[in-house]
Amino acid sequence: MTELLKISHTMTLAWRYGASWYFAEFIRALRDEQRLLGLRCPICRRVYLPPRPVCGNCHAELREWVEVKDSGTVRAFTIVHTPIIDPTTGQPRPTPYGMALIQLDGADTTLNHYLAENDPAKLQIGMRVQAVWRAERKGTLNDIAHFASISPIAERDAQAASSQASSSKLQSPISNLHSPISNPQSLFITAGVNLSFNYAAGKAASRFLIALRDEKKIFGARCPSCQRVLVPARSFCPRCFVDTSDWVEVGPNGTLGAFAATDNLAFALIRLDGADTALVHRVNVTNADELRIGLRVAPVFAETRRGHILDLAYFQPA
Amino acid sequence: MRNTAIIGAGQTKHVKARDDASQAELVRQAATRALADAGITLRDVDAVVLANMELFEGRALPEMWVGEGAGGYLKPTLKIATGGTSGTSACIAGYHQCASGLFDIVLVVGWEKHSEGATQTGMALVDPLWDRSVASGAVGNFALSISQYAAERGVTPTQAAKVAVKARRNAAKNPYAHLQMPDLTVEQVLNSRMLADPVHLLDMCPQSDGACAIVYAAQGVAEKLCARPAWVRAAVTRHDQPYIGDLDRRLVTMRTLRDAARAAYQRVGITEPLKQFDVAEIYEPVSYAELAWYEALGFCAEGDAGKLIDDGVTEMSGELPVNPSGGVLSTNPVGASGVIRVAEAALQVMERAGAHQIPDVRLALATGYGVYAWSDVIILSADK
């Protein structure tokens, strides 16, 4: 049986998301004032927290800010035991951790966030929780570390204390409350992730790559229907949709069919002798002026070969 | 709209890792089997619809790699990606292409090779404003909604485990199914590792490598090619709000599935789904979801889903067998999973399901569920 090869790639992806006015205002209030702002739908009157730019039910634009408390009621919960790669850190998130959908006081929707508790026996739907804020706020939802349960007695005491202190708080009205943001900040969220892939080459591509690696030979495969010799060799003809039949050694030399050059390196389509399709590869030259369609080229194989298309390192003028 | 039927289906043996085949070769295997089952060649196909979640395999525009495996050369070819519903959505798109009169024969192919990529990380790349800071993956999100559903409806972990056992027992009759666990017990499910309370490892679907394809043909063509075509009587899709916190108790209310089912049932005249359907292939990524779907699809009154599984109503021998193929709980190459639901429902109507054939199927239901934003409902019948 043919040795089956795998081709591995790690890809680093980076994004920069425009977060728009509603996210900017929410984050400003969260970071600078430790306050939570929701948006109210002008039609169904639901208060969305997190704020949404549009009510999905009514398809109405949301512009009316509403202050929402940092205490609320658990509407759903779980304790997660299976680790995921945290997209904000790129590392597996330690388990177990509690998650909940929390309806904050003053909101009609629920916020997806962490719980301090990770014993399911101590959790129930309907329990009261309070945000535990981080000492240093950076302007993300994680400025709230998690939500912790509060006893009814403690909550009553806290409410009494806050009503005494509220007179001073009321003197500083929420900026932009009940009005559109006049001068929205630009706010962007940057994110990145590393993703690893391990592709099965399949029987035909494995055989092709092993011939490169072990014999420095280049093979095509013939379609029994259209008779074309396809390079690299593959298991089926994409035009005729039939299995390829015999394997044919092609080249090693070929003819340049097309190229795009930068200095002394060209990205090229090379028709190897005996092939009916072009191989996509690169051509090294000392001077780009040497390149022309119809140029005869010869392969240069890598010293160390590992079963990869770059075992054929590059082509050069023959 | 013209009457349109499924006249052939094909799939690969679904496994953890298909190292012997590249993605294009995997897809071609399913497409070739579906064409053979329909008794046609690629030459007869007018258009191709693909279903795949490309981020999982890291190939942007996978049709540039895999499309030729599905036979897309010089044919109208498009791809659909809607999470778990990718396959059923592609089946609905293919149906529309055929039923509208655009094309006479349409091939639909779905696939996924989870073994090659980064599915869990891909699924955590959610809304960067609100979700990514607290992402907990598909299992965590399901577990949240299950806590609400179980609390309101009183379904128990044992009842959920019975769903998981039923799926794996059925899968043992399906040679293409991934998980083969004919002797699985409720105790084993309940004792398996906890992923996210109350979801155990064996309550959850696997990740599979696999592909599945179906062939549609319009009236006039279908009857000539197939002795017993599976006629599409309804194909409905619904989308929901995308932030999980905005959904009102999603598994309890299941707005998308209820609404899609209501529209589809009305079109076909379904008033008593449990009695009228002969078989159902529903998209249950987790055991509890199947119980929630029983209610949303009107198989039972609200709160009676647990009783339905307790009473064996949805077993192979029950009044309405649900997922005789073993379902998503046994086989889950995501882009293919929805196509598998439709293919398996069609095979039942065409009487080609083999060892898991249910006798005398005239009316079959297939559904899809994507992230928490899509539900698809497709009804197939032996009658036009």
Tokens of A12: 């680093």
A125 pLDDT tier (thresholds 50, 70, 90): very high
Residues 6+ apart with CB under 8 A from A173: none
Answer whether B4's CB lies under 8 Å from B219's CB: yes
Helix (H, G, I), strand (E, B) or coil at A318: coil
pLDDT at A167: 44
A170 pLDDT tier (thresholds 50, 70, 90): very low
Which fold does the domain B4-119+208-225 belong to in CATH?
Peroxisomal Thiolase; Chain A, domain 1 (3.40.47)
Q: How many CB atoms lie within 10 A of CB B318?
A: 16
B140 → closest Cβ in A80, A204, A241:
A80
Identify the helix (H) or strand (E) that includes residue A109.
none
A1 pLDDT tier (thresholds 50, 70, 90): low
The residue type found at B129 is L
pLDDT at B137: 83
Residues B101, B46: Cα–Cα separation, whole Å:
11
Residue with tokens 């904000």: A88
Answer whether B113's CB lies under 8 Å from B209's CB: yes
Tokens of A151: 């006893």
pLDDT at A177: 40
| Over residues A197-209, mean pLDDT | 95
Residues 6+ apart with CB under 8 A from B94: B47, B49, B106, B107, B108, B214, B216
| Over residues B98-105, mean pLDDT | 98
β-strands A97-104, A71-80 pairing? antiparallel
pLDDT at A302: 97
Answer whether B118's CB lies under 8 Å from A196's CB: yes
- Residue ranges of the domains in chain B? 4-119+208-225, 127-205+230-381
- Could you tell me which of B305, B237, B228 has the C-alpha nearest to residue B87? B237
pLDDT, one tens digit per residue, over A136-166 is 999 889 999 999 999 878 777 777 776 665 4
Shortest distance, CA A205 to any CA of chain B (angstroms)? 8
Cα dist. A250→A66, A236, A258 in Å?
72, 18, 19
Answer whether B110's CB lies under 8 Å from B328's CB: no
Q: Which residue of A12, A84, A95, A228 to mutate against B (max B Cβ within 10 Å)?
A: A84
Instruction: Look at B143 and A189 and tell me if their CB atoms are within 8 Å.
Output: no
Residue A171 C-alpha from the chain's centroid: 44
- For B127-205+230-381, CATH gives 3.40.47.10
Could you check whether B4-119+208-225 and B127-205+230-381 share the same CATH topology?
yes
Q: Which residue of A30, A187, A241, A280 to mutate against B (max B Cβ within 10 Å)?
A: A241
Instruction: Look at A99 and B144 and tell me if their CB atoms are within 8 Å.
Output: yes
| Over residues B7-22, mean pLDDT | 97
pLDDT at A142: 92
| Choice between A307 and B373, residue whose per-residue pLDDT is larger | A307
Residues B296, B290: Cα–Cα separation, whole Å:
10
A19 → closest Cβ in B129, B136, B144:
B129
Among left, alpha and beta (phi > 0; psi -120 to 50; other), residue B125 is: beta
Shortest distance, CA B241 to any CA of chain A (angstroms)? 6
Task: Search chain B and give the residue with CA nearest A111.
Answer: B245
A203 contact B CB<8A: yes
Tokens of B211: 């592909």
pLDDT, one tens digit per residue, over B115-137 is 998 888 888 888 888 888 888 88
Tokens of B297: 């699809």
Cα angle, residue A71 at apex, residues A68 and A72 outer, rounded to 5°? 90
Residues A25, A31: Cα–Cα separation, whole Å:
10
Q: Is the peptide bond before A252 cis (omega within 30 degrees of 0)?
A: yes
A76 → closest Cβ in B41, B129, B145:
B145
Beta bridge partners of B281: B366
pLDDT, one tens digit per residue, over B54-81 is 888 888 888 888 889 999 999 999 999 9
